[in-house]
Amino acid sequence: MERSLVLIKPDAIQRCLAGDIISRLEKKGLKIVAMKMVQMDHVLAQRHYAIHSDKPFFGELVDFITSCPIIAIVFQGRNAVSLIRQAMGETNSAKANPGTIRGDLGIDLSHNLIHGSDSQDNASHEISLFFSSEEIHDYNRDVDQWIS
Ligand code: IDP
Ligand code: MG
């Protein structure tokens, strides 16, 4: 079953939106298999966002993501990666569609509340930056027979 890494970013924590965002993904049927609050340091931030290291906004992005604790979550489910990207909406919250997390709640390009892996390969790598295999739980839910 597919897995994806979600980060509830500092703006969501500061604005008390973590529960709403997690709830939207849970209600879609995605299963939480790992979750913790993390104060990211610059080393972890630079690893997580390595693909953007040559972009002009990289310094700002690292400062933002390390500005307060975030919540890291592994969601599991059929097509988890693309389902979460759809639920997030596009990167620039000002352009994201209504009904998406960023479209309904986000502010702009840098304040967009949530990270979600953009491919299965990147998901595996990103999950390994935040969680050991012992921290990821394999369990059944009664509701899985309706939504898996
Ligand atoms: P994504 O989060 O939708 O996958 P990416 O292009 O991977 O978007 O960018 C990673 C993060 O970097 C974005 O979520 C946003 O927080 C930040 N970011 C992207 N482009 C800009 C920009 O032009 N200015 C400031 N921050 C940006
Ligand atoms: Mg991305």
Task: Tell me the domain boundaries of the chain.
Answer: 2-137
Nearest ligand 1 atom, CA 85: 3
CA of 78 to the centre of ligand 1 (A): 25
pLDDT for position 109: 97
Query: Are the beta carbons of 61 and 18 closer than 8 angstroms?
Result: no
Consecutive 10-residue runs of the chain (148 residues): their mean pLDDT? Answer: 97 98 97 98 98 97 98 98 98 98 98 98 98 97 88
Q: What is the DSSP letter of 32?
A: E
> Residue 142: phi, psi to the nearest 5?
-60, -35
Distance of alpha carbon 51 from alpha carbon 56, whole angstroms: 12
The CATH superfamily of 2-137 is Nucleoside diphosphate kinase-like domain (3.30.70.141)
Q: What is the pTM of this model?
A: 0.97
Nearest ligand, CA 85:
1
Q: Which residues contact 132 (CB under 8 A, 6 or more apart)?
A: none
pLDDT for position 147: 85
